[in-house]
Amino acid sequence: MRVFGCLGAAVFCVSALSACASDSPGNVPQVTQAGVALLIKQPFGSDNRKAAKPPSGYVAFCARNPGNCRPAKGPWELVLTDDVWRDLEDINLIVNRTVVAEEDQPHYGTLEYWTVPEDGFGDCEDYVLTKREALIKLGLPPGALRITVVFAPHFIRHAVLTVVTDRGNLVLDNLNDEIVTWDKTRYTYLERQDPSSASGWLSLQ
């Protein structure tokens, strides 16, 4: 396992539209038939996609941390070498195992607060930001590491990190230590960062 500097900590969340999916059995229902139909479609093609308004939590995060939100430079796709795969696996597992789950409302007194936490607590967006920052420090290009907003089953809003590679879009998720391609998840993909969009975000619907 590659050793790197101070990682910070992150966490996942639970609850309704402003929160994140949980890995507890009671919050992992079966995908509906309509959800399956949506997932069959490739969500990441650029054809007929429209620029999306960035999530409010991301906008506030960027206002506090402008250095973390500069326009992404290429390459926008990774060649998935053995070394890159090991980096992805290491970071996904370390962050998932380092975190303590806590929602934003009890933690910060607000429904949405995106951050790279320093106190070991956070939610799904914090997991994503921490993983993204750590992978960038390891030399992976920011343009290929994209914050992605999804609906988990029962329309619970959730966030994951998608990594654009020459072998497909990979999903790094705080609810799963295994890295899988987007089509192996049970999510409906809503929007994600995209350097080709004027807003920096692209609708996946």
Query: Does any domain span residue 16?
Result: no
| pLDDT interval class at 42 (50, 70, 90) | low
Number of CB atoms found within 10 A of residue 2's CB: 10
Query: Does any domain span residue 4?
Result: no
Amino acid (one-letter) located at 25: P
Query: Does any domain span residue 27?
Result: no
Helix H segments across the chain?
33-40, 56-64, 82-98, 104-108, 124-137
Residue 115 DSSP code: -
| pLDDT interval class at 10 (50, 70, 90) | very low
117 or 73, greater pLDDT: 117
d(CA 174, CA 168): 20
pLDDT for 89 beyond 70: yes
In sequence order, which residues have a C-beta less than 8 Å from that of residue 171 and are 6 or more positions away?
148, 160, 161, 162, 163, 179, 180, 181, 182, 184, 185, 187
Cα–Cα separations (whole angstroms), residue 2 to 69, 87, 92, 192: 26, 7, 12, 28
d(CA 11, CA 9): 7
pLDDT, tens digit, for every residue of 160-189?
Answer: 999 999 999 999 999 999 999 999 999 999
Mean pLDDT computed over 47-52: 78
Number of CB atoms found within 10 A of residue 126's CB: 31
Mean pLDDT computed over 33-43: 45
Query: Does any domain span residue 167?
Result: yes
34 or 181, greater pLDDT: 181
Overall domain count for the chain: 1
Query: What pLDDT, on a 0 to 100 scale, did the predictor assign at position 148?
Result: 97
Query: Does any domain span residue 18?
Result: no
19-28, 48-57, 66-75, 156-165: which has the minimum mean pLDDT? Answer: 19-28
pLDDT, tens digit, for every residue of 100-130?
Answer: 888 999 999 999 999 999 999 999 999 999 9
Query: Does any domain span residue 87?
Result: yes
pLDDT, tens digit, for every residue of 137-151?
Answer: 999 999 999 999 999
Query: What pLDDT, on a 0 to 100 scale, did the predictor assign at position 101?
Result: 80
Query: What pLDDT, on a 0 to 100 scale, did the predictor assign at position 198?
Result: 85
Average pLDDT across the chain, whole number: 82
Edge-first strand order for the sheet with 145-152 is: 176-181, 168-173, 156-165, 145-152, 188-193, 201-203
pLDDT for 34 beyond 60: no
Contact 116, 134 (CB under 8 A): no
* Domain of residue 79, residue span: 32-64+74-203
pTM for this model (two decimals): 0.82
Give the CATH number, domain containing residue 162. 3.10.620.30
Query: Does any domain span residue 3?
Result: no
Contact 136, 5 (CB under 8 A): no
Query: What pLDDT, on a 0 to 100 scale, did the predictor assign at position 116?
Result: 94
Cα–Cα separations (whole angstroms), residue 83 to 1, 80, 195, 196: 11, 8, 25, 27
Query: Does any domain span residue 184?
Result: yes
